Every structure is written in C-alpha cells, then in structure tokens.
C-alpha cells in the first residue's frame, strides 16, 4: 500500500504574495481525518509481511482504535451538530461536514478491514493450522462437542429479552455484541423481536478440541436459539453491536467531591447516546428499521459487515502459544550504571549522584530503572518522602506496591491520581482507594485541568543535606505498557530539577498562582510561550544553522503550526516525527517547503516526546527537552504537562541518535505529502527503527549479546 488518506484538498499556492497562504484554512489538515489516516497505517501492518499473529494483533488494535474514535470524537461531532453549533474546525469545516467526511472514510476503511481479514489473514492463518470455522462447516462430531460446550458453559449465563407490550425494547450496552432474533408463535402466528446478548465474560471465539479451529461465539449461540425460545419458530437472527457516547462530561465547578462526580459519570456513561450501529450485512429491512428506530440513529450511523463483528477479539489469537508466528521476543536490558556489581545490588542513588541517566523503554528495562528507583526509595530508611503523579497504571503495579510499603513504613507519600484518564477511570478509583487505605496522601488533580505529567520526586536525608532525586518521563508508570510503548525517562539528582518538581507538586496538592520554574516547562503556565520562543530562536539563528526536530504523538495546535510555517519560510530546516494526528501540511511552496513529516508505526507504539532546537541554548548550543506533552491545544492549555531539559552532552547524543534513527528508517516509516496523503517510504528496508534501537541497547547493556 503506497499511499493512504487525504486529510483535505491540496493547498494550491495563489498567484501573488505567498503569504496569502497563511489566511487559507486549507493550510491545515483535518484532525479527525488525520486520525483515520493513522488508523489506516495501523491496518496496513495487518496487510504486511510481518508474522501472521502480529498481523491479527494489528487487526484487533485497528478495531479497538475505531471503537474509541466513535465513542469520543464522532460522539462529540454529533453533539455539536445536534446543538446547531456553527463554529468551524481550523481547516474550515462545520461539524456536519466533518461527520459526512468521517462517515465516508470509515466505510472505506471497513471495506479494507474486511478484505484484509477475509482475503489475507484468514487464509494465511489456515496455512499455519489456525482455522476460522463456521457452524455450517462443522461435521457431526464437531457439532456434538459444541452442543456440550453450549449446554455447560454458555446456556446458563444467557438472558433472552423479548420485545412485546409487556417488555419494552431492552437497553443495549456500549460495545456489546448481540443477536437480533425474530421469532413466531406457531399457535397465534404472532411475530416478536428478541435480543440475546453475547456474554462478554466468555472468549470471543470457541476453540475446538484440536486447538486449531475457532468458531465465533455468536454462531454457537445462534445454532441453539431453539433452546432459548422453546416452542417458538426461529425466523431470522443477525449479529449487531452498538457504540455509545462514552466521554465524561463533568461539571467540576459544581462538584464538591471529584471522586464522587467521576463515579456518577461512569454510571451515566453506560447510558450514553448511541452513535454507531454495526450489523450483519445480510440483515433484513424489517430488523434494520427496528434497530434504527429504537436506537434513535440516522442511516448514516449504520455500518454493515460481511465478516464477524468486533475483531478486537483477535487478541485471543495473539495469546496462542505459537512463538513461531510472532515477533522474536525482546528482553529489555539494564544499563551498566544500574546493574549489580560483584553480586551486590546497585545503589541507584549513588549512580544518580554521579550524573543523570536516560532510560529508553522498552529497550532499557523499566523494572531495573524506574520501578527500582521507587522500590529502593520505599525501603531506604534515609528517604523521607516520595511524590508521584499517576495517570494510567495497572492495579498490580510494583510501583503502587512500593508506595503502599513506603507509607506503611512512615514515609511521607503523596500520589496525584488523575481520575479523568479516559477509559481508565474505574481502575484509577479502585487502586487510589487502596493507596488511601495504606496511608498515602492521595489527591485527584485540579479543577478544569487533567494532570498528564509523568513525574516522581524522592527526598532523602544524606546527613549534610536533604537531596532530591527525580524522574521525568514521557510515559505512564505502567509496567505493562512499558513493554509495548516506546518512551523515555530522565533520572536525575540535579538540584534545580528537584526544586522545580517540589514547586510543581506543591502546586498540584495545594494552592498557588504564578509559580516560577527554573528549568522545566510546565503547561498551561509557561510551555506554550517557551516553545514559541524556542522556535523563533531558530529563525534568528545565523543563516543555514536553524534546525528543529520534534518527535511526538500528535501535532494539532494551529498557533504553533503557523509558527512552524514561519520558521520554514525563514529557512529553518524542520523535521517532524508524528505518530498519529498531524494537521500541518508539509512541503508546500511558499508555506512549508523546509518541513518534512514522517510517522513510524510498527512493533512498538511510538510514544516519546522529544523536542530539539539546534540553537536553543545559544548560537550553536543545542537544547533538548523530553516530557509528557504533545503539541495539541488540550496539552498546552487544559492539562498539567511538563517538559524537562536534557543537558548532559552524552545524553543529548543519545537523543540525537534516537531522532536520527527515526529519520533514517526506511522500513516502518510513512511520509506526509503536500496533498495530505501518506506514502510508505519502503526504500529497501535497510533501517528498521525498532530493530536498530534494540541493537544499540544491547551494545550499551551490562551484558551485551
């Protein structure tokens, strides 16, 4: 697949002053369509030449991504359109125009997904002994086995719900898989609609005894509908799935208790407005009309499928014990300064007093660096206090366990838990309460602002002074995602950084205005203005020396995009590595010919944010920042974010090496064209960024292979 997507029509440079382009909304690519471009790049991996179970995984990721897109982004556009809002997006579209474009694009993507799944993935899996079977394909012995499975493990937890004068149309929960069933009473001739929910507690596919064949769970249920509706004639049955608005709409200013407010909104989320109906493509007009009417949907929100619904269930295939069909396993390495010496455990605090450390996950071990930092702090009698921000983590996280042990040992432990981390709210509430019960001081963020920064502070009594040790990262304190997400972390005993984090935590847990920071850039206080100044600084640099390299998840902010256009017109070379959404249009004469944009999508999710300015520390003195913030209005204006400078020359060299490898990749990389399409680079496969960074990590490790 050489080219995908088209965020909007290409900018055509007008005759006359090229500066007129700055007033053309077409200089921006549409945010929603750009995100769909990203998801198409994910789907391209499922259609590639990587191991077949990895391809199944990317089909699942594509499906999950699209679910979240409808629950949040499409739901928001529907709300705007229903409210009659006339505001336009930066690229000049109304909410209704965006909905029309998104709907058309999603239909094309669904067609691609079905082609990839049915024509490539299913046959390729069959070639290696993993077969998708249907009920009709099975012989008598197979069906006898599934009858036993149904009666013992499936039938007891099914609840058929009929619709009649005494039973109103049932509530269809968000993302649930269901069967729409038409039954007829043979005595009265009356026809009824019924709904059977496919239990989400059961695996998506039923595994046959040979361990090689998989039958969709809904087909097994459909084959036994006569047991659910005894004595009735089963006329038709069709699978369907509903997506609802799942975004929280907190009125924080009116909430006396943020925790209670989030819990209330989680209950309301279950009853959000329906925004999408996925249904069997063979559904009868009668059932289709009934579902559309009862769910209060327009025809544009109906998406028919030929293949199985909800391919996120393909995660279960990826869990199969078939290492021959997956990527080669990678074991993260430990840097020499963090490795045991002569059989003795490392003294991490002594290592940091010798100089800053940069850890790069998943290449560097999260366990032997960040987790060990908090574990050692929890057990060290000289440590007096630990403070940490938690946005997303797992309930069994060793870090949460370390915080609890530290509190039980009498240390001052403070955890800033962001309850509004989308789709992790319930988990965050659960383990936040566990922290509170152990004596940890838990706060839940600031009114109107999400706390997205990833920071930790440890205060240690070292006799002659209280020394502060800190970690500032680009990723969450989550041991599971640390194996899958590419992220960076700075571990430091720098006194200025420690002072800044002290100020930041005091601001987060207490009250304050106009807090000043010496080194870190903090949103929404100072980050936007500081980044703008750094961009302008490259524009003022001696001719030919201005250079900006940025790596991030998303680039959306119109103000900073326009400033990057200014930098391009001033001759500054700008290289952008943007994994997901990019609303900047590169390579347009008179506007952005000095800007290149690429995206890398592969084995690891590119999650780190790196900002490099060749003259940010003065002429010829580079500045590097890492941290939690993407260049989006929400990150810069409505979240607590932090970017930390990386000053040590050897660590700057590592960041330069990472950026250079990203820019040299000719295997995973896609490049954004001026017309808004993405082109797969694929110039011969001489550099795969993930493989190359694994090699570099091994070369630096304590035990190189």
pLDDT digits (tens, 9 = 90+) for 223-245: 999 999 999 999 999 999 999 99
* 262, pLDDT greater than 70: no
Lowest-confidence segment of 3-17, 172-186, 244-258, 309-323 by average pLDDT: 3-17
Residues 690 and 603 sit within 8 Å (Cβ to Cβ)? yes
- Grouping H, G, I as helix, E, B as strand and the rest as coil, residue 548 is strand
Query: Average pLDDT for residues 285-303, to the nearest whole number?
Result: 94
Neighbours of 319 (CB within 10 A): 10
Query: Which pair of tokens denotes residue 633?
Result: 């209005």
Q: Which of 286, 317, 348 is the last residue of a domain?
A: 317
- How sure is the predictor about 154, in pLDDT bands with cuts at 50, 70 and 90? very high
Residues 300 and 103 sit within 8 Å (Cβ to Cβ)? yes
- How sure is the predictor about 259, in pLDDT bands with cuts at 50, 70 and 90? low
Q: Between 95-115 and 31-46, two packed helices, what is the crossing angle to 10 degrees?
A: 0
- How sure is the predictor about 689, in pLDDT bands with cuts at 50, 70 and 90? very high
Q: Which of 509, 530, 552 is the last residue of a domain?
A: 509
Q: Roughly how many angstroms between the first and final C-alpha of the chain, as a whole number?
A: 36
* Predicted local confidence at residue 458, as pLDDT: 98
- 239 Rama class: left (phi>0) / alpha (psi -120 to 50) / beta: beta
The DSSP bridge pattern shows strands 441-443 and 131-132 to be unpaired
What range does the domain containing 532 cover?
A: 521-700
* 261, pLDDT greater than 80: no
Specify the pTM: 0.92
Query: Average pLDDT for residues 389-408, to the nearest whole number?
Result: 86
* Predicted local confidence at residue 343, as pLDDT: 78
Query: Which pair of tokens denotes residue 550?
Result: 């940025």
In-domain check, residue 95: no
* 137, pLDDT greater than 80: yes
List, by residue number, the catalytic residues. 452
* 186, pLDDT greater than 90: yes
Query: Which pair of tokens denotes residue 470?
Result: 């800190």
**Percentage, residues of the chain above pLDDT 90:** 74
Residues 248 and 275 sit within 8 Å (Cβ to Cβ)? no
* 260, pLDDT greater than 60: no
* 382, pLDDT greater than 50: yes
Q: Which of 284, 317, 350 is the last residue of a domain?
A: 317
Lowest-confidence segment of 491-495, 505-509, 520-524 by average pLDDT: 505-509
The DSSP bridge pattern shows strands 669-672 and 639-645 to be unpaired
Assess whether 382 and 477 both reside in one domain.
yes
Rg (CA), the chain: 27
Between residues 257 and 527, the one the model is more confident about: 527
Mean of all residue pLDDT scores within the chain: 90
| Alpha-carbon distance values, 411 to 439, 441, 697, 699 (Å) | 10, 11, 35, 38
In-domain check, residue 83: no
- How sure is the predictor about 6, in pLDDT bands with cuts at 50, 70 and 90? low
The DSSP bridge pattern shows strands 466-473 and 454-461 to be antiparallel
Query: Average pLDDT for residues 154-176, to the nearest whole number?
Result: 86
- How sure is the predictor about 355, in pLDDT bands with cuts at 50, 70 and 90? very high
Assess whether 290 and 404 both reside in one domain.
no
* Predicted local confidence at residue 222, as pLDDT: 95
Q: Tokens 């003259």 appear where? A: 615
Assess whether 474 and 344 both reside in one domain.
yes
* Predicted local confidence at residue 446, as pLDDT: 72
Q: What residue ranges in 504-565 does DSSP mark as E strands?
A: 521-523, 547-552
Q: What is the rounded (10 degree) CA torsion for 552, 556, 560, 566?
A: 100
Assess whether 476 and 385 both reside in one domain.
yes
In-domain check, residue 580: yes
The DSSP bridge pattern shows strands 573-578 and 412-417 to be unpaired
**Is the backbone peptide bond immediately before 617 cis, with ω within 30 degrees of 0?**
no
Residues 538 and 572 sit within 8 Å (Cβ to Cβ)? yes
**Is the backbone peptide bond immediately before 524 cis, with ω within 30 degrees of 0?**
yes
* 256, pLDDT greater than 60: no
CA pair distance 655, 609, nearest whole angstrom: 11
Residue whose C-alpha is closest to residue 178's, from 270, 272, 243, 241: 241
* Predicted local confidence at residue 449, as pLDDT: 84
- How sure is the predictor about 444, in pLDDT bands with cuts at 50, 70 and 90? confident
In-domain check, residue 258: no
* Predicted local confidence at residue 682, as pLDDT: 74
In-domain check, residue 3: no
* 584, pLDDT greater than 60: yes
Residues 435 and 259 sit within 8 Å (Cβ to Cβ)? no
Q: What is the pLDDT of residues 528-562, one digit of tens each?
A: 999 999 999 999 999 999 999 999 999 999 999 99
CA pair distance 192, 235, nearest whole angstrom: 10
* Predicted local confidence at residue 244, as pLDDT: 93
Assess whether 191 and 237 both reside in one domain.
yes
In-domain check, residue 29: no
* Predicted local confidence at residue 387, as pLDDT: 96
Between residues 13 and 432, the one the model is more confident about: 432
* Predicted local confidence at residue 128, as pLDDT: 95
Assess whether 200 and 228 both reside in one domain.
yes
**Is the backbone peptide bond immediately before 190 cis, with ω within 30 degrees of 0?**
no
Assess whether 544 and 667 both reside in one domain.
yes
* Predicted local confidence at residue 247, as pLDDT: 74
Q: Tokens 């013992």 appear where? A: 152
* 265, pLDDT greater than 90: no
Residues 627 and 569 sit within 8 Å (Cβ to Cβ)? no
**Percentage, residues of the chain above pLDDT 70:** 91
* Predicted local confidence at residue 428, as pLDDT: 65
- How sure is the predictor about 623, in pLDDT bands with cuts at 50, 70 and 90? very high
Name the DSSP letter for residue 491: E
Assess whether 357 and 476 both reside in one domain.
yes
In-domain check, residue 50: no
- How sure is the predictor about 15, in pLDDT bands with cuts at 50, 70 and 90? very low
**CATH value at residue 366:** 3.30.870.10
Q: Tokens 């249907």 appear where? A: 134
Query: Average pLDDT for residues 436-458, to the nearest whole number?
Result: 86
CA pair distance 442, 450, nearest whole angstrom: 15
Assess whether 222 and 343 both reside in one domain.
no
In-domain check, residue 123: no
How many helices and strands, by DSSP H and E, does the chain display?
21, 28
Q: Tokens 């961009």 appear where? A: 535
Q: What are phi and psi of 234, to 5 degrees?
A: -85, 110
- How sure is the predictor about 108, in pLDDT bands with cuts at 50, 70 and 90? very high
Q: How many domains would you assign to the chain?
A: 3
Q: How would DSSP label each residue in 567-585?
A: HHHTT-EEEEEESS-B-B-
Assess whether 375 and 442 both reside in one domain.
yes
Residue whose C-alpha is closest to residue 68's, from 140, 206, 183, 174: 174
Query: Average pLDDT for residues 389-398, to the nearest whole number?
Result: 78
CA pair distance 427, 418, nearest whole angstrom: 11
Query: Which pair of tokens denotes residue 143?
Result: 């069906």
What is the CA angle 534-538-540, rounded to 5? 110
- Grouping H, G, I as helix, E, B as strand and the rest as coil, residue 667 is coil
- How sure is the predictor about 704, in pLDDT bands with cuts at 50, 70 and 90? very low
Query: Which pair of tokens denotes residue 243?
Result: 């997506």
**Please, which residues have CB within 8 angstroms of residue 115's CB and are 6 or more apart in sequence?**
none
Query: Which pair of tokens denotes residue 145?
Result: 């086995």
Assess whether 406 and 368 both reside in one domain.
yes
* Predicted local confidence at residue 267, as pLDDT: 52
- Grouping H, G, I as helix, E, B as strand and the rest as coil, residue 510 is coil
Assess whether 306 and 368 both reside in one domain.
no
Q: What residue ranges in 5-75 does DSSP mark as E strands?
A: none
**CATH value at residue 137:** 3.30.1840.10
What is the CA angle 665-557-583, rounded to 5? 50
Residue 581, burial from CB neighbour count under 10 angstroms (0-12, 13-18, 19+): buried
What is the CA angle 42-47-53, rounded to 5? 85
CA pair distance 186, 192, nearest whole angstrom: 12
């Amino acid at each position: 697949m050489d080219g995908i997507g088209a965020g909007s029509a290409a900018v055509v440079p007008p005759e006359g002053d090229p500066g007129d382009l700055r007033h053309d909304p077409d200089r921006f690519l549409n945010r929603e369509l750009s995100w769909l471009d990203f998801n198409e790049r994910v789907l391209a991996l499922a259609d590639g030449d990587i191991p077949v179970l990895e391809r199944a995984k990317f089909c699942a990721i594509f499906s999950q991504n699209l679910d979240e897109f409808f629950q949040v982004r499409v739901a928001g556009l529907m709300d705007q359109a229903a409210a009659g809002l006339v505001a336009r997006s930066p690229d000049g579209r109304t909410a209704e125009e965006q909905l029309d474009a998104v709907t058309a694009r999603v239909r094309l993507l669904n067609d691609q997904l079905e082609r990839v799944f049915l024509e490539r993935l299913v046959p390729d899996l069959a070639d290696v002994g993993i077969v998708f079977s249907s009920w009709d394909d099975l012989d008598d012995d197979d069906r006898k086995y599934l009858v036993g499975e149904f009666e013992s493990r499936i039938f007891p937890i099914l609840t058929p719900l009929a619709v009649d004068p005494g039973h109103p149309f049932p509530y269809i929960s968000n993302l649930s898989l269901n069967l729409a069933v038409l039954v007829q009473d043979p005595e009265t001739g009356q026809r009824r609609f019924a709904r059977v929910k496919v239990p989400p507690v059961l695996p998506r596919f039923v595994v046959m005894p040979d361990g090689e064949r998989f039958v969709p769970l809904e087909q097994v249920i459909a084959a036994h509908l006569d047991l659910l509706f005894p004595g009735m004639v089963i006329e038709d049955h069709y699978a369907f799935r509903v997506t609802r608005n799942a975004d929280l709409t907190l009125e924080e200013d009116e909430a006396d208790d943020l925790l209670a407010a989030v819990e209330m909104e989680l209950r309301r989320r279950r009853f959000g407005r329906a925004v999408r109906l996925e249904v069997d493509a063979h559904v009868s007009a009668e059932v289709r009309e009934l579902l559309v009417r009862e769910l209060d949907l327009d025809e544009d929100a109906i998406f028919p499928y030929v293949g199985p619904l909800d391919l996120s269930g393909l995660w279960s295939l990826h869990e199969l014990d078939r290492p021959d069909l997956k990527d080669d396993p990678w074991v993260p390495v430990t840097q020499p300064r963090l490795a045991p010496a002569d059989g003795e455990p490392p003294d991490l605090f002594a290592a940091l007093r010798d100089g800053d450390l940069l850890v790069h996950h998943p290449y560097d071990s999260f366990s032997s660096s960040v987790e060990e930092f908090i574990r050692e702090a929890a057990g060290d009698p000289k440590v007096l206090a630990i403070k940490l921000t938690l946005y997303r983590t797992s309930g069994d996280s060793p870090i949460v366990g370390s915080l609890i042990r530290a509190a039980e040992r009498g240390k001052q432990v403070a955890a800033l838990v962001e309850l509004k981390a989308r789709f992790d709210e319930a988990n965050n509430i659960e383990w936040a309460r566990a922290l509170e019960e152990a004596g940890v001081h838990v706060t839940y963020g600031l009114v109107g602002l999400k706390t997205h920064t990833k920071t930790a502070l440890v205060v240690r009594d070292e006799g002659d002074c209280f020394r502060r040790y800190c970690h500032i990262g680009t990723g969450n304190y989550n041991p599971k995602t640390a194996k899958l997400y590419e992220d960076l972390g700075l571990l430091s005993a720098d006194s200025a950084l420690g002072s800044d984090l002290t100020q930041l935590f005091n601001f987060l847990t207490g009250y304050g205005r106009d807090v000043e920071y010496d080194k870190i850039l903090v949103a929404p206080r100072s980050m936007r203005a500081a980044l703008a100044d750094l961009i302008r600084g490259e524009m003022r640099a001696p001719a030919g020396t201005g250079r900006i390299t940025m790596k991030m998840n998303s680039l959306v902010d119109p103000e900073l995009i326009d400033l990057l256009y200014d930098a391009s017109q001033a001759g500054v070379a700008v290289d952008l590595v943007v994994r997901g959404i990019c609303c900047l249009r590169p390579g347009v004469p008179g506007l952005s010919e000095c800007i290149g944009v690429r995206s890398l999508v592969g084995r690891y999710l590119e999650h780190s944010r790196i900002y490099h300015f060749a003259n940010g520390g003065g002429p010829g003195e580079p500045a590097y920042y890492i941290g939690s913030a993407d260049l989006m209005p929400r990150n810069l204006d409505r979240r607590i974010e932090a970017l930390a400078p990386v000053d040590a020359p050897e660590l700057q060299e590592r960041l330069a090496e990472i950026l250079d490898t990203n820019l040299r990749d000719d295997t995973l990389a896609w490049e954004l064209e001026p017309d808004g399409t993405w082109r797969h680079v694929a110039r011969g496969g001489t550099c795969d960024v993930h493989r190359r960074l694994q090699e570099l990590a091994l070369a630096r490790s304590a035990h190189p292979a």
